[in-house]
Amino acid sequence: MRQSLFFRLFILLGIFLFCPGLVLAQEDIAAQESAAMQADLDSKVQAMLNSPPGVFDLEYADGQLMRLKIKGEAEVSTALQGARADRQAREKAERSAKAAFSKFMNEEVTVVESATEGFLIQGKDGSESAEFMEASQRTMTSLSNSFLRGLVVIFDHVEGEGADRRSVLVLGWSKKLVDAAAGAQSTLNQSRANDNKPAAQKAAAPADGAAGKPSPQTQTRIGNDDF
């Protein structure tokens, strides 16, 4: 009986001494994993900041364009102040990115409609016939709005101050999103039908009086790049 009691006390003492060390070890592992994730994120952010404006980070598979990123940037106007100036610059950066994307899609790839595989997006081949290129251009024109709706924001960044302040926006695009947009015509028809219904009252926009407040020197929002 005494031996059994002694054994139980010994086990309890071991747990008392071992558990704090185990908790600390788990916390250390979690801290290391968090630091690694932050370093990976910082690396991705820096890569996007260093990339020139336009289309970059293209990925092809078996001749098919699978995904890409598009960067747009704009200087923040010194004629405006605070959040209003940042918002206007962000809108300019977005227009710049979408224009670069449209130019790339029209000049660098062909879009082929397949009865079995939907829309295939391929790098242009100089040997393609004029008829094929014309058909591809018609397909591209019919789908351009769907392609633009398929873009997602993966990086939204404002930095600097005064004349050096700028907005950087990176959009992501992938074939997966295009495949989803292939049936956009029915969605568009539904949207048009909904547009005929009385619109719900929109929330009031922020008052311009708040726009004069100085913006933080750096603002960054990171979206999901798993698109």
- Residue 137 is classified by DSSP as H
Say which residue the tokens 């014309």 belong to.
Answer: 134
> Lowest-confidence range among 2-11, 30-39, 94-103?
2-11
Q: What is the DSSP string of 14-67?
A: HHHHHHHHHHHHHHHHHHHHHHHHHHHHHHHHHHHHHSPSEEEEEEEETTEEEE
- Ranges of each domain in the chain: 50-191+209-222
58-61 contacts at long range (C-beta below 8 A, 24 or more positions apart) = 60/123
pTM: 0.64
Question: Between 79 and 133, where is the model more confident?
Answer: 79
Helices (H) and strands (E) in the chain, counts: 5, 7
- How far CA 118 is from CA of 58, 175, 184, in Å, comes to 21, 11, 13
pLDDT of residue 202: 47
pLDDT at 83 over 80: yes
Q: 21-52 pLDDT, tens per residue? A: 555 566 677 777 677 766 766 778 888 888 99
Structure token digits, residue 25: 């070890």
Other CB atoms within 10 Å distance of the CB of residue 88: 17
Rounded to a whole number of angstroms, the CA Rg of the chain reads 27
Q: Answer for the pair 9, 129: CB distance below 8 angstroms, yes or no.
A: no
Band of pLDDT at residue 71, cut at 50, 70 and 90: very high
Least confident of 27-36, 184-193, 208-217: 208-217
Using an 8 Å Cβ cutoff, are 73 and 158 in contact?
A: no
